[in-house]
Structure 1
């Protein structure tokens, strides 16, 4: 079917504009965290919001009010989980996971590579992207909770404190905090 009538087009136009405006307002009110760099939990919420918007736009059986409630529910749940994850460690671990050290002191950590399903070549690529020409110049490479790699260069005056909270073999003055 190529065309089912002007009423359907008008409904899609009106509901689409209103749903879009409401979604933008909800996202602005919920804060920057809702639109931040994504970990798996944030990605799921983003996909669910997009799916909800598409359903509200195209499914005649779903009223705009139901779509608005679904937006509010998803954003409210995301806010609740992120608020809790800032305050409760087990919620943070459940929602976002933990960063994983893949290389330390220029040496690959084979068990961590296997567990994270990352190859040595991917770690080398991350170090090249960071402008490092030798693994011996790298204190650590960390797979972050959002899937990105962080490359921490070795330095004589650094103490490795940025690695606190990262799963791995490092020993820094703050490792007792873990």
Structure 2
């Protein structure tokens, strides 16, 4: 039986050190780490490797449920996949969840639902803040990557979309989007 850790942060500016230390202190012999969004399983190579690596009798450990998944659907899929391999699952900061018992599965689902709810609230608060900043003229969004006026000027001079894309170093689809606005 091996204890296998999985640590994740959402952005490159965040540190994995705290999670790594907690997982090693819990006895993990191997820790898979990545800096990726947890909104879905897509592109999370280290998670895929961890799920492939664990064997019958191992235990997959995370520090918190939201490090593994941000939606109850993803959480259930991951835990079901682990369970099918006869692998245990623990979340250190949510107590000892034993997914082999009915109580453990119930608790996992409830905590997963709360984690998803919390993420939804966070997104709503962020959206409210952005809307307020836009209303006050503070938030303008990211700068356009396509020089729309330059695209329009070149097109009005009779330059073909393919040539505009080539001259400006942008994709032809970007030229068409700029012309459509």
Question: What TM-score does the superposition give when structure 2 sets the normalisation length?
Answer: 0.30
Task: Answer 1 or 2: higher relative contact order, Cα 8 Å, separation at least 6.
Answer: 1
Higher helix residue share: 1
